[in-house]
Amino acid sequence: MRKASINRKTKETSISVEVNLDGTGKSSIKTGIGFLDHMLEQIAKHSLIDISLEAKGDLHIDLHHTTEDSGIALGEALKEALGDKKGIKRYASATIPMDETLSRVSLDLSNRPYLVWNVKLAVEKLGEMDTELFKEWYHAFAQSAGITLHVENIYGENSHHIIESCYKGLARALRDAVQIDSRIQDIIPSTKGTI
């Protein structure tokens, strides 16, 4: 019902994604980028959205294309699974602590893609992943899913904790925003009548 499958192929990547918005948080993630896999697993686990994502990309060049395209494909799958968005809560925000770190993610499933990224990291790499790629992933995801997305690290020192709290914040905000509100289950949550 609220499920979608996406296959995205370019000269740089080949990605298949399946999502179930009404799942239990199961995941099968294989991008070839260990740290990215770990973050996408966090999205599934804490959003309760089942996610299967397999990516094959030109990792021999660098990690950029696979990172960006996985964000695009997951965003497309989310958007398709939401359908006409009848009954969804639409807006959500989550503030997530992780040890010394506190991050906030706020979103609107508005079909008006926009990213505000207020996250600074002290290191250039986490695992094998360039830290500048996290913003690229969030931008690609927001654009293809049609989400207004604000990601903010309020404070923190450890870059791993900062990024992980951002992904967990995204997960918890998605969990709330995609939920069906029983009071409006047959209504699109917009005065325009469409999202």
> pLDDT per residue over 116-135, tens digit each?
999 999 999 999 999 999 99
139 with 115: CB under 8 angstroms? Answer: yes
Contact partners, residue 52, CB within 8 Å, separation at least 6: 16, 17, 18, 19, 27, 28, 29
Q: Is the pLDDT of residue 18 over 90?
A: yes
Q: Is the pLDDT of residue 40 over 90?
A: yes
The CA distance from 32 to 185, in Å, is: 39
Does residue 71 lie in a domain region? yes
Does residue 189 lie in a domain region? no
Residue listed under structure tokens 């906030």: 104
Percentage of the chain beyond pLDDT 70 is: 100
In this structure, what token pair is assigned to residue 75?
A: 């965003």
CATH number at residue 130: 3.30.230.40
Average confidence (pLDDT) over 27-31: 98
Average confidence (pLDDT) over 165-189: 96
How many distinct structural domains can be found in the chain? 1
Q: Is the pLDDT of residue 19 over 90?
A: yes
Q: Are strands 114-118 and 148-155 parallel, antiparallel or unpaired?
A: parallel
Does residue 39 lie in a domain region? yes
* Predicted structure pTM score: 0.97
Contact partners, residue 191, CB within 8 Å, separation at least 6: none
- Per residue in 144-168, pLDDT tens? 999 999 999 999 999 999 999 999 9
Mean pLDDT estimate for the chain: 97
Does residue 192 lie in a domain region? no
Give the three-state DSSP class for 24. Answer: coil
Supply the range of the domain harboring residue 125.
3-184
Q: Are strands 13-20 and 27-30 parallel, antiparallel or unpaired?
A: unpaired
What pLDDT sits at residue 9?
98
Does residue 82 lie in a domain region? yes
- Per residue in 101-120, pLDDT tens? 999 999 999 999 999 999 99
Give the three-state DSSP class for 161. Answer: helix
Does residue 193 lie in a domain region? no
- Per residue in 55-91, pLDDT tens? 999 999 999 999 999 999 999 999 999 999 999 999 9
First to last CA, the chain: 19
Does residue 195 lie in a domain region? no
What pLDDT sits at residue 163?
98
Q: Is the pLDDT of residue 1 over 90?
A: no
Average confidence (pLDDT) over 10-22: 98
Does residue 64 lie in a domain region? yes
